[in-house]
Chains A and B, each alone.
Chain A
């Protein structure tokens, strides 16, 4: 929930846009050569296979957060499919 509210703007009645600060951070890191789109895409694709990213430092920070949520989602799916839904929350122990 924190990630969603940080990465996206509240946009009732307006077109939702990427927050300016996040866009500028991505531009800056890209210009400095610290991140690239191929690595970012690879991070996304490996997240749903529950594999660790190869070069997490070269992935765009926003994409890393998305990848983490996708990984969490995939874990949820596999937990339900395997019948481990009741152990999903640590509060149950």
Chain B
């Protein structure tokens, strides 16, 4: 009976968050142009710059609720996932809420979510949302300052674990720490876009250059190999051509090639295996193909010459056979 009690409790909590997300999308900071006409009640309460400013009041309460849920419900997957989903909806520039909430105190306090002890996949989404949110800052200096504030702790953790880990390759605790920091990097990559890519890469450049080495040192641990590929794939998804940062793009391209070469060179000892079970897919192989696909559609790499990438392709294919 105690279990049923808590199940209902968390169901209520996650449903409340779902309701807030649904309500925000339809009612908060609405555009009267879509209605003919809009009710004067909603116009005075919820439009942008409405006289009663109820939209800001509601957003303040709901954002505080997101932060509160993350602190109190960190152990409950459903409530945390629903709260993160709401957070990502709020910071998504397509939903057009972000410019209106960036100055709210409750929004500034959301940055403390990164300090919570959360599941690594949840942490990934936290960083994704925080990086996405930096797009709302009106000035480049503010955006870069916020990005630096978010990224430098990740970089320092990466450096510390990388130095320590090479001495204790097979230690479980070290491997877990590496996975955590790679998950955070994945979140950063997922939240980045063409405009934030140059600054993100500038700060994290050295850590990206270490990724092939991580793949070499921990080559026998599939989870770490896949986590490295995941970071590179998410980063390669960014439209780097729009960023104008050609030098950084080429640097990243070289990192990807080095990672792919490192992976393939360590496959010569791989035993043949028949994958009969649908659930048991060669995840690492699928990921390297995915990374290769992402790299070939990046227009900026045309400058570097398509020859290099096709030589890499043939290198990969011949190693498979």
Contacts and interface: CB of A to CB of B under 8 A. Distances in A.
Interface string A68-89: 0110110011001000011011
A16 B16 contact: no
B52 A17 contact: no
A7 to B, nearest CB: 7
Contacts of B4: 89, 91-92
A46 to B, nearest CB: 12
Contact of B54 (A5, A16, A44, A85): A44
B153 interface: no
A3 B15 CA distance: 11
B16 A27 contact: no
By size class, the interface of chain B is: 35 or more
A69 B17 CA distance: 10
A9 interface: yes
B42 interface: yes
Nearest to B96: A15
B311 interface: no
B65 interface: yes
Best-buried of B16, B26, B35, B44 by chain A (most CB within 10 Å):
B26
Contacts of B54: 40-41, 44
Contact of A80 (B1, B38, B72): B72
B35 A37 contact: no
Given A26-B39, A30-B40, A11 B25 contact: yes
A11 B23 CA distance: 12
B37 interface: yes
Nearest to B44: A37
A37 B30 contact: no
Nearest to B9: A88
Contacts of A3: 19
Nearest to A92: B5
A45 B65 contact: no
Interface string B1-44: 11011101100110110111011011100100011011111101
B320 interface: no
Contacts of B12: 72, 76, 88-89
A72 B18 CA distance: 14
Given A23-B39, A88-B12, A41 B19 contact: no
Nearest to A70: B61
A8 interface: yes
Contacts of B13: 76
A72 B9 contact: no
B58 A77 contact: no
A56 to B, nearest CB: 15
Contacts of A85: 6, 9
Contact of B26 (A18, A44, A72, A80): A18
Interface in B59-83: 61, 65, 68, 72
Which 7 A-B pairs have CB atoms at the shortest separation, nearest pair first?
A92-B5, A26-B39, A89-B8, A37-B44, A16-B25, A4-B19, A8-B26
Interface of A: 1, 3-5, 7-9, 11, 15-18, 23, 26-27, 30, 35-38, 40-41, 44-45, 48, 60, 62-63, 66, 69-70, 72-73, 76-77, 80, 85-86, 88-89, 91-92
9 contacts: A7-B22, A7-B26, A9-B26, A30-B40, A41-B54, A80-B72, A85-B9, A88-B8, A91-B5
Interface of B: 1-2, 4-6, 8-9, 12-13, 15-16, 18-20, 22-23, 25-27, 30, 34-35, 37-42, 44-45, 52, 54, 57-58, 61, 65, 68, 72
